[in-house]
Amino acid sequence: MMENVKKDFPLLRDNNITYLDSGATTQKPEYVLNSISNFYETSNANPHRGAYGLSIKATEVYEQTREKIAKFIGAKHSEEIIFSKNATESLNLIAYSYGLENLGVGDEIVISIMEHHSNLVPWQKVSKKTGSKLNYMYINENFEISDEEIEEKITDKTKIVGITHVSNVLGTINNIEKIIKYAHKKGAVVVVDASQSIPHMQIDVSKLDCDFLVFSGHKMLAPLGIGVLYGKREILNKMTPFLMGGDMIEYVYEQDTTFAPLPNKFEAGTQNVEGVIGLGAAIDYIQNIGYDRISKIEEKVVSYAREELSKLDFLTLYMTKNSLNHSSVISFNIDGVHPHDVASILDSQNVCIRSGNHCAQPLMRYLKIDSTCRASFYMYNTKEDVDNLVLALKKAYEMFKKYIVK
C-alpha cells in the first residue's frame, strides 16, 4: 500500500534518497505537477482582468479552487478563503490588519512557547505598537500545554490567542478545541496555525469555531509560494487591507480609495495562480488517498520510528510520551554532537533531515538547547526509511563518539 503512494512522487521514485523533511516542505505527486503544466498549456491568463474567454477560464479555475478549499476545511463561505504566499504572510496579515486595529494598552496577547517565529514575531510587533502585553503558555515536562496553564494564562484581559495546532519542533498536538472554547469564554479571538496539522488530519473550522486559521500549501503536496488564510466573514469584513494595489480596489480617486469586497480586498496584485491550481490538485490527491489511510500509514511509520529511536542510548528525544498527542515530527540530538554535523553525515548516507532551531528560538532557549535534528514523516515514508535513518545515526555516532566530551 505504502509503495503505491511513493510511486506517485517522481523525485522519490527516481532517486535513492530517504526524505525525512516533510515538515519543511513535502515532495509533490505527479498529479499536482501535471495540473500545473495543464494550466499553463490550456488556461494561462490573468484571472479577474480580462473579458476574453481565456481570462474568464483562468478566473473560473482560480475561484473554483477557492470553493474547493472552503469545503475542504469546512468554511461556511468561499469568500472566507484568502490566498497568500504562505502561512507567514497570512499571520502577518492578521497581526497588522486585525491586531494593530483592535488592541490597546491593558490588553493581552497569549501565544505558546512552541510557536514558529511567524506566529510570534508579528505579535511582538503588535504588542510594542499598541502597548498591549504578550504572554506565553509554557509546556510541561511531557512537552505539552496543561489545562491549568491554558486557564491561568488566558484571562479577561486576553484579546488574541495564537496557537500552533501541531508543534513543528516537538510534534505535540495541542488541544486547540479546549483553547478555542476557553478563549471565547474570555472574549478573545483565536488564531490557529495549522501548517503542521492539515497535511495529516482533517480540519473543520466550523466545528472548531476558530476565528482565523492559516496554512501553507507546500507542506501538503502543493507548490511553494501559496498559502491560505481563513477568517470568519464578519471579522474579515471589518478589517482593513494589508497590501494595496491592483484588483483589491473598488474605486480610486485622486485623494481617496474604496476597496473591493471579500475576498478580493486582501489579494492585491497578480496572484500565484499556478500555486492555487497546484493546491487544488493537492487537495484532490489527499482526498483521493483519504485522511484515514494517511493516518494509518503515518501511525505505523511514526510508531516504529519512536520505538527504534528510543533504543539508541546516545540520543536525546524531544517528544511527548503520549503517542496519541504526537504527530509526525521527531526532534532529537546525539549527545555532544552539533545537529548540523549529524545532518551532514546523514546526508552522505542519502538521508535528508532538518537541523537547526526550526524557526523556534524561544522554545530552544526554554529547553536549554541551541538546536536539534528533526525527522518529519509523511504518507510516502516507510519503515525502510526509518531503518535507513537509524543505520545512518549509528554510523554518525561511531564517527563522533571519540570526540564526545561527557
Question: For 206-240, how does the pLDDT look when each residue is reduced to its tens digit (9 = 90+)?
Answer: 999 999 999 999 999 999 999 999 999 999 999 99
Q: Does 180 share its domain with 317?
A: no
**d(C-alpha 268, C-alpha 259), whole Å:** 11
Cα atoms found within 13 Å of the Cα of residue 234, Cβ hemisphere only: 3
**d(C-alpha 173, C-alpha 167), whole Å:** 7
Q: Does 294 share its domain with 272?
A: no
- From 83, 133, 131, select the one nearest 108 (Cα to Cα): 133
Q: Is residue 403 part of a domain?
A: no
Q: Does 393 share its domain with 278?
A: no
Q: Does 234 share its domain with 352?
A: no
User: Among 223, 252, 287, which residue terminates a domain?
Assistant: 287
Q: Is residue 406 part of a domain?
A: no
Are the CB atoms for 170 and 140 separated by under 8 Å? no
Overall number of domains in the chain: 2
User: Which CATH number fits the domain that encloses residue 306?
Assistant: 3.90.1150.10
Q: Is residue 405 part of a domain?
A: no
Q: Does 295 share its domain with 242?
A: no
Q: What is the mean pLDDT of residues 9-19?
A: 96
- From 374, 341, 377, select the one nearest 357 (Cα to Cα): 374
Per-residue pLDDT tens over the stretch 167-179? 999 999 999 999 9
Q: Is residue 106 part of a domain?
A: yes
Q: Does 124 share its domain with 191?
A: yes
Is the bond preceding residue 263 a cis peptide, omega within 30 degrees? yes
Measured from the Cβ of residue 260, the count of other Cβ atoms closer than 10 Å reads: 17
Per-residue pLDDT tens over the stretch 246-305? 889 999 999 999 999 999 999 999 999 999 999 999 999 999 999 999 999 999 999 999
For residue 3, pLDDT over 60 is answered with no
CA distances from 274 to 80, 165, 225, 281 (A): 20, 27, 10, 11
The pLDDT value given to residue 49 = 87
Q: Does 79 share its domain with 162?
A: yes
Q: Is residue 246 part of a domain?
A: yes
The pLDDT value given to residue 50 = 87
User: Among 249, 270, 287, which residue terminates a domain?
Assistant: 287
User: Among 257, 287, 317, which residue terminates a domain?
Assistant: 287
Q: Does 80 share its domain with 222?
A: yes
Q: Does 333 share its domain with 262?
A: no
Residues contacting 167, CB < 8 A, separation 6+:
114, 143, 174, 196, 329, 360, 363
Per-residue pLDDT tens over the stretch 307-358? 999 999 999 999 999 999 999 999 999 999 999 999 999 999 999 999 999 9
Catalytic residues: 359
What would the DSSP string read from start to end of 112-170? ETT--GGGTHHHHHHHHHHT-EEEEEPP-TTS---HHHHHHHS-TTEEEEEEESB-TTT
Q: Does 129 share its domain with 243?
A: yes
The pLDDT value given to residue 2 = 46
Q: Does 116 share its domain with 201?
A: yes
Q: Is residue 226 part of a domain?
A: yes
Question: What sections of 163-252 are H helices per DSSP?
Answer: 176-185, 205-208, 233-236
Q: 242 is written with which cell numbers?
A: 494589508
Q: Does 294 share its domain with 283?
A: no
User: Which CATH number fits the domain that encloses residue 231?
Assistant: 3.40.640.10
Q: 45 is written with which cell numbers?
A: 491568463
pTM: 0.97
Q: Is residue 27 part of a domain?
A: no
For residue 166, pLDDT over 70 is answered with yes
Q: What is the mean pLDDT of residues 118-147?
A: 98
Average pLDDT over the chain reads: 96
- From 195, 162, 164, 194, select the one nearest 23 (Cα to Cα): 195
For residue 1, pLDDT over 70 is answered with no
Q: Which domain holds residue 302?
A: 2-20+290-397
Q: Is residue 365 part of a domain?
A: yes
